[in-house]
Amino acid sequence: MAGSNSTFSVIGADVTIRGDVSASTELHVDGNIEGDLHCASLVQGEGSTINGGIEAESARLAGHVVGSITARELVVLKSARIEGDVHYDALTIEQGAEVEGRFAHRVPNQRASDKPATARAEQQPAKAPGEEPKLSLAN
């Protein structure tokens, strides 16, 4: 991994990583990852494949993901194909994106892996209209 002065790291289109990946800065993935991915910010290229779970503060997905995704801010572009559950605080999906899985709004200060989505939903009090999860469709 690059030094602390680096603003982002890149996994090129010709690279395949087998194993978990962790980055403290922005990570741009054009290659393939077979393992879980943890980073501050993720940008996934159209030709990229991630076969494992993703956990990031923000993620912009354009390629193929097989695994669960947990992100505070998630953007799913029209070229994206996701096979797995999606946990988010704010979500934007472009028309044409493919998602096979369930969407679940995250409880503040709680990781998606702490409790199943159905258990969290049952324990949540009714939300005021201003506290509803944000969901938007981009053209």
User: Rounded CA gap, 71 and 40, in Å?
Assistant: 9
The whole-number average pLDDT for the span 123-127 is 45
How do residues 69-122 score in pLDDT, each as one tens digit? 999 999 999 999 999 999 999 999 999 999 999 999 987 665 544 544 443 343
Q: Is the pLDDT of residue 50 over 50?
A: yes
How do residues 106-120 score in pLDDT, each as one tens digit? 876 655 445 444 433
22 is a domain residue: yes
The whole-number average pLDDT for the span 41-58 is 97
pTM for the model stands at 0.74
Structure confidence at residue 139 (pLDDT)? 55
2 is a domain residue: no
15 is a domain residue: yes
Structural element, H or E, at residue 66: strand 64-66
Q: Which of 14-28, 38-52, 110-124, 125-139 has the lowest mean pLDDT?
A: 110-124
How do residues 56-65 score in pLDDT, each as one tens digit? 999 999 999 9
User: Rounded CA gap, 65 and 51, in Å?
Assistant: 6
User: Rounded CA gap, 33 and 92, in Å?
Assistant: 24
3 is a domain residue: no
**Residue whose C-alpha is closest to residue 21's, from 54, 47, 43:** 54
Range of the domain at 76: 8-138
How do residues 9-39 score in pLDDT, each as one tens digit? 999 999 999 999 999 989 999 999 999 999 9
Which tokens in the block code for residue 129?
């209209």
What sign does the dihedral 137-64-87-54 (CA atoms) show?
negative
Tally of domains within the chain:
1
